[in-house]
Amino acid sequence: MRVVGTKSVWGIGDVGNLEAKQVTVTDAQIIHLSAALDSVLAGESAQVKEYKPSGKTMIFMTMGKKYAAGQIGEWKLWGWVVSYVKGRRLFVDTPRVYVGGKQLRHASM
Ligand SMILES: Cc1cc2nc3c(=O)[nH]c(=O)nc-3n(C[C@H](O)[C@H](O)[C@H](O)COP(=O)(O)OP(=O)(O)OC[C@H]3O[C@@H](n4cnc5c(N)ncnc54)[C@H](O)[C@@H]3O)c2cc1C
Protein backbone atom coordinates (compact mmCIF):
# COMPACT_ATOMS: atom_id res chain seq x y z
CA MET A 1 0.00 0.00 0.00
CA ARG A 2 2.98 2.26 0.35
CA VAL A 3 3.56 4.03 -2.94
CA VAL A 4 6.64 2.53 -4.57
CA GLY A 5 9.68 4.77 -4.14
CA THR A 6 8.22 6.74 -1.22
CA LYS A 7 8.42 6.42 2.56
CA SER A 8 5.28 8.15 3.66
CA VAL A 9 2.77 8.07 0.83
CA TRP A 10 0.10 5.39 1.08
CA GLY A 11 -2.88 4.54 -1.05
CA ILE A 12 -5.93 2.33 -0.73
CA GLY A 13 -9.09 1.91 -2.75
CA ASP A 14 -9.34 2.68 -6.43
CA VAL A 15 -6.02 4.49 -6.49
CA GLY A 16 -4.23 1.23 -5.72
CA ASN A 17 -3.43 -1.65 -8.01
CA LEU A 18 -3.53 -4.56 -5.57
CA GLU A 19 -7.14 -5.61 -6.01
CA ALA A 20 -10.27 -5.07 -8.03
CA LYS A 21 -11.50 -1.49 -7.92
CA GLN A 22 -14.46 -2.31 -5.71
CA VAL A 23 -15.63 -0.94 -2.41
CA THR A 24 -16.04 -4.53 -1.19
CA VAL A 25 -12.27 -4.85 -0.79
CA THR A 26 -11.69 -1.61 1.06
CA ASP A 27 -12.58 -2.84 4.57
CA ALA A 28 -9.60 -5.21 4.61
CA GLN A 29 -7.37 -2.50 3.14
CA ILE A 30 -8.47 0.00 5.79
CA ILE A 31 -7.75 -2.48 8.60
CA HIS A 32 -4.33 -3.29 7.17
CA LEU A 33 -3.40 0.35 6.54
CA SER A 34 -4.44 1.37 10.07
CA ALA A 35 -2.12 -1.25 11.56
CA ALA A 36 0.68 -0.27 9.18
CA LEU A 37 0.39 3.42 10.04
CA ASP A 38 0.29 2.59 13.76
CA SER A 39 3.58 0.76 13.40
CA VAL A 40 5.22 3.44 11.26
CA LEU A 41 4.16 6.28 13.54
CA ALA A 42 5.48 4.33 16.54
CA GLY A 43 8.85 4.04 14.77
CA GLU A 44 8.38 0.32 14.14
CA SER A 45 8.39 0.22 10.34
CA ALA A 46 9.88 -3.28 10.38
CA GLN A 47 6.58 -4.51 11.86
CA VAL A 48 4.65 -3.55 8.72
CA LYS A 49 3.47 -6.73 7.06
CA GLU A 50 2.85 -7.20 3.38
CA TYR A 51 -0.80 -6.90 2.43
CA LYS A 52 -2.26 -10.11 1.07
CA PRO A 53 -5.30 -9.55 -1.18
CA SER A 54 -8.04 -12.07 -0.50
CA GLY A 55 -8.51 -12.87 -4.18
CA LYS A 56 -12.12 -13.78 -3.42
CA THR A 57 -14.80 -12.59 -5.79
CA MET A 58 -17.48 -10.53 -4.05
CA ILE A 59 -19.97 -8.72 -6.20
CA PHE A 60 -23.54 -7.56 -5.71
CA MET A 61 -25.50 -6.20 -8.66
CA THR A 62 -28.95 -4.75 -8.37
CA MET A 63 -31.55 -3.80 -10.95
CA GLY A 64 -34.03 -1.65 -9.13
CA LYS A 65 -35.18 -2.62 -5.67
CA LYS A 66 -36.44 -6.10 -6.50
CA TYR A 67 -34.00 -7.73 -8.89
CA ALA A 68 -30.43 -8.60 -8.06
CA ALA A 69 -27.64 -11.09 -8.47
CA GLY A 70 -24.43 -11.65 -6.62
CA GLN A 71 -21.46 -13.86 -5.96
CA ILE A 72 -19.18 -14.47 -3.01
CA GLY A 73 -16.29 -16.73 -3.90
CA GLU A 74 -17.78 -19.67 -5.77
CA TRP A 75 -21.17 -19.15 -4.16
CA LYS A 76 -23.90 -17.64 -6.33
CA LEU A 77 -26.17 -15.70 -4.03
CA TRP A 78 -29.95 -15.76 -4.11
CA GLY A 79 -31.24 -12.58 -5.70
CA TRP A 80 -33.52 -11.78 -2.77
CA VAL A 81 -30.53 -11.80 -0.39
CA VAL A 82 -28.69 -9.25 -2.56
CA SER A 83 -31.85 -7.16 -2.92
CA TYR A 84 -32.29 -7.15 0.84
CA VAL A 85 -28.69 -6.16 1.58
CA LYS A 86 -28.07 -3.69 -1.26
CA GLY A 87 -31.16 -3.11 -3.40
CA ARG A 88 -33.31 -1.45 -0.78
CA ARG A 89 -31.01 1.49 -0.04
CA LEU A 90 -27.81 1.08 -2.13
CA PHE A 91 -25.90 1.75 1.12
CA VAL A 92 -26.72 5.45 0.87
CA ASP A 93 -27.82 5.29 4.51
CA THR A 94 -24.35 4.35 5.78
CA PRO A 95 -21.78 6.94 4.59
CA ARG A 96 -21.99 9.08 7.73
CA VAL A 97 -20.69 6.32 10.02
CA TYR A 98 -18.34 4.97 7.34
CA VAL A 99 -16.71 8.28 6.49
CA GLY A 100 -16.74 9.17 10.18
CA GLY A 101 -14.64 6.10 10.90
CA LYS A 102 -17.26 4.59 13.22
CA GLN A 103 -18.14 1.53 11.13
CA LEU A 104 -16.61 -0.42 8.30
CA ARG A 105 -18.41 -0.72 4.99
CA HIS A 106 -19.60 -4.25 5.68
CA ALA A 107 -20.35 -3.94 9.36
CA SER A 108 -24.03 -4.47 8.64
CA MET A 109 -23.51 -7.65 6.60
C1 LIG B 1 -21.30 3.20 -11.30
C2 LIG B 1 -20.43 2.48 -10.30
C3 LIG B 1 -20.94 1.37 -9.66
C4 LIG B 1 -20.16 0.68 -8.74
N5 LIG B 1 -20.67 -0.39 -8.11
C6 LIG B 1 -19.94 -1.07 -7.21
C7 LIG B 1 -20.47 -2.21 -6.56
O8 LIG B 1 -21.61 -2.62 -6.76
N9 LIG B 1 -19.70 -2.86 -5.67
C10 LIG B 1 -18.43 -2.42 -5.38
O11 LIG B 1 -17.79 -3.05 -4.54
N12 LIG B 1 -17.89 -1.34 -5.99
C13 LIG B 1 -18.60 -0.66 -6.91
N14 LIG B 1 -18.08 0.43 -7.55
C15 LIG B 1 -16.70 0.81 -7.25
C16 LIG B 1 -16.62 1.65 -5.98
O17 LIG B 1 -17.51 2.74 -6.06
C18 LIG B 1 -15.19 2.15 -5.83
O19 LIG B 1 -14.31 1.04 -5.83
C20 LIG B 1 -15.01 2.91 -4.52
O21 LIG B 1 -15.87 4.01 -4.48
C22 LIG B 1 -13.56 3.39 -4.41
O23 LIG B 1 -13.44 4.16 -3.26
P24 LIG B 1 -12.26 5.18 -3.14
O25 LIG B 1 -12.43 5.81 -1.80
O26 LIG B 1 -10.98 4.51 -3.46
O27 LIG B 1 -12.47 6.24 -4.29
P28 LIG B 1 -13.69 7.23 -4.51
O29 LIG B 1 -14.95 6.72 -3.90
O30 LIG B 1 -13.69 7.54 -5.98
O31 LIG B 1 -13.26 8.48 -3.66
C32 LIG B 1 -12.26 9.36 -4.13
C33 LIG B 1 -12.64 10.76 -3.69
O34 LIG B 1 -11.56 11.66 -3.93
C35 LIG B 1 -12.10 12.85 -4.44
N36 LIG B 1 -11.01 13.51 -5.19
C37 LIG B 1 -10.52 13.23 -6.41
N38 LIG B 1 -9.54 14.08 -6.73
C39 LIG B 1 -9.39 14.91 -5.68
C40 LIG B 1 -8.52 16.00 -5.39
N41 LIG B 1 -7.59 16.41 -6.26
N42 LIG B 1 -8.65 16.61 -4.20
C43 LIG B 1 -9.57 16.22 -3.30
N44 LIG B 1 -10.42 15.19 -3.52
C45 LIG B 1 -10.32 14.54 -4.69
C46 LIG B 1 -13.27 12.43 -5.32
O47 LIG B 1 -14.16 13.49 -5.49
C48 LIG B 1 -13.85 11.30 -4.45
O49 LIG B 1 -14.80 11.78 -3.53
C50 LIG B 1 -18.83 1.14 -8.47
C51 LIG B 1 -18.34 2.26 -9.11
C52 LIG B 1 -19.12 2.92 -10.03
C53 LIG B 1 -18.56 4.15 -10.73
pLDDT score recorded for residue 37: 95
Q: Which atom of ligand 1 is nearest to the CA of 25?
A: 11
* pLDDT, mean over the chain: 89
Q: For residue 9, give the DSSP letter.
A: -
3 state DSSP class of 63: strand
Higher-pLDDT residue of 106 and 42 is: 42
DSSP character string of 12-57: -GGG-SSS-S-GGGHHHHHHHHHHHHHHHHTT-GGGPPPP------
Burial of 13 (0-12, 13-18, 19+ CB in 10 A): middle
The fraction of the chain above a pLDDT of 90, given in percent, is: 53
- pLDDT exceeds cutoff 70 at 99: yes
For residue 13 and ligand 1, the question of a CB distance below 6 A is answered with yes
Q: Do 33 and 26 meet the contact criterion of CB atoms below 8 Å apart?
A: no
State the greatest distance between any 2 C-alpha atoms of the chain, in Å, as a whole number.
51
For residue 29 and ligand 1, the question of a CB distance below 6 A is answered with no
Q: How far is the CA of 90 from the centre of ligand 1 (A)?
A: 14
Rg (CA), the chain: 16
For residue 98 and ligand 1, the question of a CB distance below 6 A is answered with no
Average of pLDDT values for 39-56? Answer: 90
Burial 69-93 (b: 16+ CB within 10 A, else e): ebeeeeeebebeebbebbbeeeeee
- Indicate which residue's Cα is closest to atom 32 of ligand 1: 14
Q: Which atom of ligand 1 is nearest to the CA of 23?
A: 11
Give pLDDT tens digits for 58-83: 899 999 988 999 999 999 999 999 99
The fraction of the chain above a pLDDT of 70, given in percent, is: 96
